Amino acid sequence: MTYQNTLAFAQQCDREDPLAHFRSKFLLPKDDKGNPQIYLCGNSLGLQPVTTKQYIENELTDWAKHGVEGHTDAEHPWLPYHEFLTNSMAKIVGAKPSEVVMMNTLTTNLHLMMVSFYQPTKTKYKIVIESDAFPSDKYAMESQLKFHGFDSKEGLVLWTPRDGEDLCRFEDLEKIMEEQGDEIALLMIGSTNYYSGQHFPLKKITELGHSHNCMVGFDLAHGAGNIQPDLHNTGADFAVWCSYKYLNSGPGSLGGCFVHERHADNKDLNRFAGWWGHNKETRFNMRHEFDALSGAEGWQLSNPPILSMAAIRASLDIYEEAGFDTIRAKSEKLTGYLEYLLDELDNDQIHIITPRDKAERGCQLSIQVKNANKDLHTKLTKAHVISDWREPDVIRVAPAPLYNNYEDVFEFVERLKNVL
Ligand SMILES: *Cc1c(COP(=O)(O)O)cnc(C)c1O
């Protein structure tokens, strides 16, 4: 792909973009003059689909009309409502439908998965995580170590970039496993690191972990809806994600959970149980001993919030219509254009932390601006660019292929040039 550093070229790409019309399916935040802002924050909170309101209203209407009977008589009955999300969600993360369920929120699911898949012994108890992991993941790991009576510092092994480098190297993870594999019980890695944007080789990590008898899980918060993690084929034991970033399902909306099919009917695994994970045939008899559903569904606890799931349905229907491969193809080209324009700035202050190889990143680029401080971000915000600032000197920008266009990317780099 040869790019050009002109607005005309960006507009030409937009005219040729097979997904161009999807932009109008989203509500773009406006500036004070009523023009759409340059929204590059879909890695933090995805935008609202125009249809979301209607999907939620339909449930409110059915609740008004049917009361409790809505569980069976609503247009989309609430009893099996989570099942309406499963097929689309499974495709997006490359899993079998039986391996996927939408429930709870990300960190809650992470704890539930650790109840089942973190089974430390006195000698094999450590957890490996990437050093720049999202704080919530680190807190979850540390509290699990403490809960099992281990020292949370000593028990948490950090996979760290080398001095002077920004990215983690696979060979350094191999070295950790060679040296401490006998003491490690679990590898829990953010599939696409939230800070650097580095996407890790999930299958290689899983094979490495399994060869040392460790469980392997991934946090796909920055992967789901962004890259194709191909979860089933990685062989990972479990994965968790949220639906409000790339999956555009609204603030605090429900998370997703993957349990590999090899664990589907393992009733000996520890698990924290609730009635929604119980056999559907006898769930309402209420007097039976817990009988876990087969597959990921068996980890559900409560009857789920239908209004939140309605928003997820609205978003997944858009993914279905666009097709994930088409979305990803645009994403690679769009982020490639951003990378090209940043390189064209030819400014020594700017350093792209995110890998240059498309296979090792999603849509986000993390841009280090040397000697900059948060003023830079404030100025960008004043210039109607919505981006994300991470101390000490990194701007994260994520052109989302469903609603961002080439002109957004061109304009962003123009405005960045102006404020620098
Ligand atoms: C966004 C994000 C979270 C947020 O967790 P919640 O439980 O949904 O609040 C956790 N981990 C990672 C890696 C994230 O990117």
* Residue 190 CA, closest ligand 1 atom number: 13
Q: Is residue 237 pLDDT above 80, yes or no?
A: yes
- CA of 106 from ligand 1 middle (Å) equals 6
Q: What is the mean pLDDT of residues 210-222?
A: 98
Residue 358's CB: how many other CB atoms inside 10 A?
16
Q: Tell me the best of 242, 243, 388 to mutate to test the pocket of ligand 1, counting ligand atoms within 8 Å of each CB and taking the most.
A: 242
Q: Is residue 289 pLDDT above 80, yes or no?
A: yes
Q: Is residue 1 pLDDT above 80, yes or no?
A: no
- The CA distance from 68 to 9, in Å, is 56
Q: Which residues fall in the annotated binding site for pyridoxal 5'-phosphate?
A: 106-107, 134-137, 219, 222, 244, 275, 303
Q: Dump the DSSP string for 275-320.
A: GGGB-TTTGGG--SPP-BPSSGGGG--S---HHHHHHHHHHHHHHH
* Residue 108 CA, closest ligand 1 atom number: 7
Q: What is the mean pLDDT of residues 365-391?
A: 95
Which of 298, 255, 278, 299 minimizes the C-alpha distance to 113?
A: 299
Q: Which residues of 234-253 are buried (b: 16+ CB within 10 A; e: fewer)?
A: bebbbbbbbbbbbbbbbeeb
* Residue 106 CA, closest ligand 1 atom number: 7
Least confident of 246-255, 280-289, 328-337: 280-289
Q: What is the mean pLDDT of residues 137-157?
A: 97
Condensed to tens digits (0 to 9), the pLDDT of residues 56-88 reads 999 999 999 999 999 999 999 999 999 999 999
The pLDDT, as a whole number, for residue 18 is 98
Q: What is the mean pLDDT of residues 140-168?
A: 97
Handedness of CA 186, 190, 195, 197 (dihedral sign): positive
Query: What are the structure tokens assigned to 335, written together?
Result: 């982020």
Query: What are the structure tokens assigned to 272, written together?
Result: 């924290």
Q: Is residue 285 pLDDT above 90, yes or no?
A: no
- CA of 42 from ligand 1 middle (Å) equals 14
Query: Considering the domain 7-49+323-419 in this protein, what is its CATH number?
Result: 3.90.1150.10
The pLDDT, as a whole number, for residue 284 is 84
Q: What is the mean pLDDT of residues 236-249?
A: 98
Indicate the SS3 state at residue 385.
strand
The pLDDT, as a whole number, for residue 396 is 97
Q: Architecture of 82-303 per CATH?
A: 3-Layer(aba) Sandwich (3.40)
Q: What is the mean pLDDT of residues 229-255?
A: 98
Nearest CA to ligand 1 atom 8: 106
The pLDDT, as a whole number, for residue 267 is 82
Q: What is the mean pLDDT of residues 147-158?
A: 97
Ligand 1 is surrounded, with C-beta below 6 A, by 105-107, 134, 136-137, 190, 194, 219, 221-222, 242, 255
* Domains 7-49+323-419 and 82-303 alike in fold: no
**Taking all residues of the chain, what is their mean pLDDT, rounded to a whole number?**
96
Which of 317, 227, 329 minimizes the C-alpha distance to 25?
A: 317
* Residue 137 CA, closest ligand 1 atom number: 11
The pLDDT, as a whole number, for residue 331 is 98
* Residue 110 CA, closest ligand 1 atom number: 7
Q: Is residue 226 pLDDT above 90, yes or no?
A: yes
Q: Where are the beta strands (DSSP E) in 8-125?
A: 26-27, 38-39, 48-49, 100-103
Q: Which residues fall in the annotated binding site?
A: 106-107, 134-137, 219, 222, 244, 275, 303
Q: Tell me the best of 105, 134, 191 to mutate to test the pocket of ligand 1, counting ligand atoms within 8 Å of each CB and taking the most.
A: 134
Condensed to tens digits (0 to 9), the pLDDT of residues 342-372 reads 999 999 999 999 999 999 999 999 999 998 9
Q: Is residue 316 pLDDT above 80, yes or no?
A: yes
The pLDDT, as a whole number, for residue 281 is 86
Which sequence spans correspond to the domains of the chain?
7-49+323-419, 82-303
